[in-house]
Structure 1
């Protein structure tokens, strides 16, 4: 004879609220060249304005300097600023885009393996790519993350907790739905 399921046992435990664990951007070393370009263009523009004899030449030099700074310094900075990754206790959310916003989410329960891959340049600056294998052809990649080994450890820990929570939830559902009628108070 099977014991009766009490109403308290039939309801799965409430899930803890989702918390933000980390917010990550690409390593700021990608802004080195735009910063150098900004300094060089500012100096060259100031020099060109100082030696230009005509007013239209001054305007052309200023206009050219502004265009180069916008395209070579401001847009890369804006692209870096608008791309971020948020790691929570349940998922990884990657947001990017200047004019078109793209949002990509990965549930941690879907992740299988986390690896770190880095070039020698990334290793010199303490960054790397964190790849989350989901079992599909294309892994979920967090590009050029600072301190990638720390991010990898946190993701592995969070994935283990989330997968254990999902397994517990499935076991609770299986005990509730076992093909038998739940008897309230006896058979």
Structure 2
């Protein structure tokens, strides 16, 4: 039985394959900053308070069931979907490349090789400077640069990418 080449893609194309035999090691794995979950969490808390107050107070049974269904829909679209969306975005930095996987229902994977020449740009907007986050853009000479959106401790990531590219 022939041994697979280390350059062949895995069965799951969205799994990060690291090849230690080629000298590739994971430097960092991270997601977008968790402050994106603040508003969905407030929605969930407000929903729990509203359910505790209103459920069971309506005179008709169908009104109580309708209120419960509306609360379930608000919980699904106001908390579960944003949390799953946040979990679906992940970034991996190895000694050879940067990998971005995003998407909840439709997965998109983008890679940038660190072996070629590249340029790293840090952009901060709004409250990102307060939280030490930012958008890190990696230009590797291709048409589409890789943008790591709202990453925590963005300046450290830019410094690490600069060290890996040297």
TM-score computed with the length of structure 1 as normaliser: 0.74
User: Per-residue deviation at 1:134?
Assistant: 1.7
User: Per-residue deviation at 1:140?
Assistant: 1.2
TM-score computed with the length of structure 2 as normaliser: 0.83
CA distance in 2: counterparts of 1:129 and 1:43, whole angstroms: 36
Q: Which of residues 148, 154, 163 in structure 1 aligns to 2:160?
A: 154
Q: Which of residues 31, 36, 58 in structure 1 aligns to 2:42?
A: 36
Normalized per residue, the structure richer in helix is 1
Where does residue 103 of structure 2 map in the other structure? 97
User: Per-residue deviation at 1:74?
Assistant: 0.5
Q: Which of residues 127, 132, 145 in structure 2 aligns to 1:126?
A: 132
Q: Do the aligned partners of 1:111 and 1:132 also contact (CA within 8 Å) in 2?
A: no
Shift >4 Å, 4+ stretches: none
Task: Provide Cα deviations, 1:77-123, integer angstroms capped at 9, x if missing partner.
Answer: 00101110000000001111212221111111234211111013111
Q: Which of residues 7, 25, 32 in structure 2 aligns to 1:26?
A: 32
CA distance in 2: counterparts of 1:28 and 1:44, whole angstroms: 25
Q: Which of residues 42, 58, 64 in structure 1 aligns to 2:64?
A: 58
Which ranges in structure 2 are unaligned for 5 or more consecutive residues?
1-20
User: Per-residue deviation at 1:124?
Assistant: 1.3
CA distance in 1: counterparts of 2:143 and 2:102, whole angstroms: 22
User: Per-residue deviation at 1:44?
Assistant: 1.1
